[in-house]
Structure formats: structure tokens, C-alpha cells
Amino acid sequence: MVIVLQKHIKANNMINQKQFGVWMDTQHAIIVGNEETETGALVVLAHVNGEEVSPNPGNKNENKQKKMLQSKFFKEIAAHLENATHLHATGTGQVQEQFIHYLAETPQFKNTKTEESTANKMSDERLLEYFAGKFN
């Protein structure tokens, strides 16, 4: 009886969890999360593309513009992470670490459990498998 109850509690806790995975580089992000059905299967929720700073030799504000565009990119990604309880961010460089710091400074995500890793770009199907392994 206790084992069955523990399994039921664990299953209910997993249902109440809002788990997301994000693969990202500096210009593109793929957001994975549970679909809103009883099965709660992982699906690709969105692809987000960032903007590049136009190269201009006389641009004195290039660094400021880069930071502004990165903040806009992070905001667009975060908009898909509604009520997140767990986030795993992965990608090819350090941008996922910067994104996790951005979320930590955002009140709505201050209690979100975050993890990060490094991974090369992969197909949507492979990404779903990758995050399924991380969440189980």
C-alpha cells in the first residue's frame, strides 16, 4: 500500500511539474516542454531566432546594441517558459549560462530549478530524446 501511494504521489508531482528544455546558441533557440494533455509528452514548443548587430565600422554603441538584442532574445525565449519549475538549458557555447543568469534575475523564475550542459545542435526529434533522458 505504501509503495503504491508513493508511486501515485510521485506521478502527481511529475504532472504538476512544468519542465522545459532549451537548446540555444547566440542566434537560435529551440524550446521543448510538456504538451497540455494527460500524457504530458515532450514536444517542441517553439523556435526563436535572435537578431544580429549590423556590422558598422563607425558603430560606437555596438556593445550596447549587442546586450540589448541578447536581452530581447532571452525575453522571447522566457515567454515560452510559463510557470516553469525546472529548466535544462544546453547549447554549443556559454550563452546557456548567460540565459540561466538572466532567469535568476527575473522574479518569475527565481524558484525555477535550473541545470545546464553543452551539446551540439541536433534535430528536433533527437532533442526531444535528449531532454526526455534529462527529465526522467
58: burial class by Cβ within 10 Å (0-12, 13-18, 19+)?
exposed
Digit-coded pLDDT (tens) for 35-50: 776 677 899 999 999 9
Residue 126 is placed in which grid cell? 533527437
Q: Selecting from 3.40.50.720, 3.30.420.60, 1.20.210.10, 3.40.50.10860, what CATH number does the domain 19-135 have? A: 3.30.420.60
Tell whether pTM > 0.85: no
pLDDT in tens, the chain (136 residues): 444 333 333 444 445 678 999 999 999 999 999 877 667 789 999 999 998 877 776 667 888 888 999 999 999 999 999 999 999 999 998 999 999 999 999 999 989 999 999 999 999 999 999 999 998 7
d(CA 115, CA 100): 8
The order of strands in the sheet holding 86-91 is: 42-49, 28-34, 19-24, 86-91, 113-118
Owner of C-alpha cell 527529465: 135
Q: What are the backbone angles phi and psi of residue 23, rounded to the nearest 5°? A: -100, 135
- What is the CB neighbour count within 10 angstroms for residue 119? 13
Give me the residue spans of the domains in the chain: 19-135
DSSP letter string, 1-15: -HHHHHHHHHHHHHH
